[in-house]
Structures are given as structure tokens and as C-alpha cells.
Amino acid sequence: MRGTERFVGELARENKAFWAGRDVRLDPQAPPETLLSQIRYRMRQGVYNELRSVELIATWIPWVPEREIRDLLPRQLEDEQRHYQLLRRRLKELGEDPDAYAPLPEWQALFDWLVACRHRPTVEKLAMFQFAGETQSCEGFETLIRVARDLDPETSELYRTQILPDEYRHSAIGRQALLLLADTPERQQQAREACREMNLKVFGAYQAHRSRVDRSL
């Protein structure tokens, strides 16, 4: 177990190093009006993300044979559904259309790929989505909470109290899965490659947003 714990710590540091200076979802240096438009866009995108997360977790559950991990996923599914409703409600309060988000092909392809990953080993699936993806989402939400605090305090508080705590718990599911399953050099390599695959795909989708959407906001 000690060797597995060391590996999981190393992998977390590798993921963090990958994202150093690469989080392009928000531009904290942008003028307030532009930054507020970016936040609203990320919220509309979040409605899509939460709904697709419900889909992929529901798709994955029958393909996770390890009961210790499978039993944790229905609660995550419920959390993502609740986040979907929370973001829709807040956008309506702001006078926004919560269904106005049209995903770029790169972003839709990311979720399509994740859904199709249901056949892959559990150690790979949870390394990708919960361990790498959800951890990176937590960091992005921390940034959104910070920059929205003065521009839209109510939205900032919604993320801080209703969404972020759940996301940290989802990330912990990934850590728990790796501690349980990444117990051989071969499985550790599977997890490492899966994390890198996920990080590269997510970063590519973020870049597409920054180059084709954010500049128009």
C-alpha cells in the first residue's frame, strides 16, 4: 500500500505540473465586463458539462466490476444532476438562457470519447475522469470563485458552497480507485498514460474555446 500511495502522490504532482500555466478557461486579467461574459459562458458550458457527466457516469456504472468503486458512483451521478439544476436555475435568475450553449466539436468529442471509454479498465477510467479531470475542475472552480467574488458574489457563493465540495469528493473517488487498483507497475503505467491522455484532450478543447469563442466575448 505504501508503494501505491507514493505512486498516487507522484501522479497527482505530474497532473499539477501539466496544468501549470495552462488553465485557459478564464482570463483574470481581462476587463471586468469581458471577465463577466466569460463567467456567464462557463456557466452555460457547465450546464452542458454536468448533463454529459450524468450520461457518462450512468454509462460507466455497469462496466465497473469492482463493487468498492461502483458503489461510489451513483452518488456522483446524483451530484452532477443537482449541479445541472443549480446552474440552470442561477442562469435563469440572471436573465440568461441556460440552454444557449452550443458545444464546439472538440468539446462534444471529449465527452463522446469519455462515454466510449466505458469498456476500458476501471483503473484507466477513474484515473482519467475522477482523478485527473475532476481534480482539474476543482482548480478551475477555485479560480472562478475568486474572480467572480466581486463581479457576481451570488454565483461565486453558489460554486463555493454547492458545487466545489462535491467536486473535491468526486476527485477523492479517483484517488480511492487508484489506491485500490493501481497496485502493480503495469496498472500504474495504465493510470499514468490515461491521465496524460485525458489532460491532453481537455487542454486541446480549452484551447479551441479560447481561440474561437473567448475572443468574441
DSSP-derived secondary structure for 36-75: HHHHHHHHHHHHHHHHHHHHHHHHHGGG---HHHHTTHHH
Please determine, for residue 184, whether its predicted confidence score (pLDDT) is greater than 90.
Answer: yes
Task: Find cell 468529442 and name the residue.
Answer: 109
Which cell goes with 45? 458550458
When pLDDT is averaged across residues 158-176 and rounded to a whole number, the result is 98
What burial class does residue 82 get, using C-beta atoms within 10 Å of its C-beta: 0-12 exposed, 13-18 middle, 19+ buried?
middle
| pLDDT, mean over the chain | 93
Asked if residue 90 lies in contact with residue 42, where contact means CB atoms within 8 angstroms, the answer is: no
Question: Which domains can be identified in the chain, with CATH numbers?
Answer: 2-216 (1.20.910.10)
pLDDT digit string (tens) for 93-141?
999 999 999 999 999 999 999 999 999 999 999 999 999 999 999 999 9
pLDDT digit string (tens) for 50-96?
999 999 999 999 999 999 999 999 999 999 999 999 999 999 999 99
Please determine, for residue 215, whether its predicted confidence score (pLDDT) is greater than 60.
Answer: no
Q: Give the three-class secondary structure for 213.
A: coil
Asked if residue 54 lies in contact with residue 111, where contact means CB atoms within 8 angstroms, the answer is: no
> What is the C-alpha separation between 51 and 57, in angstroms, rounded?
10
How does residue 197 score in pLDDT terms, banded at 50, 70 and 90? very high
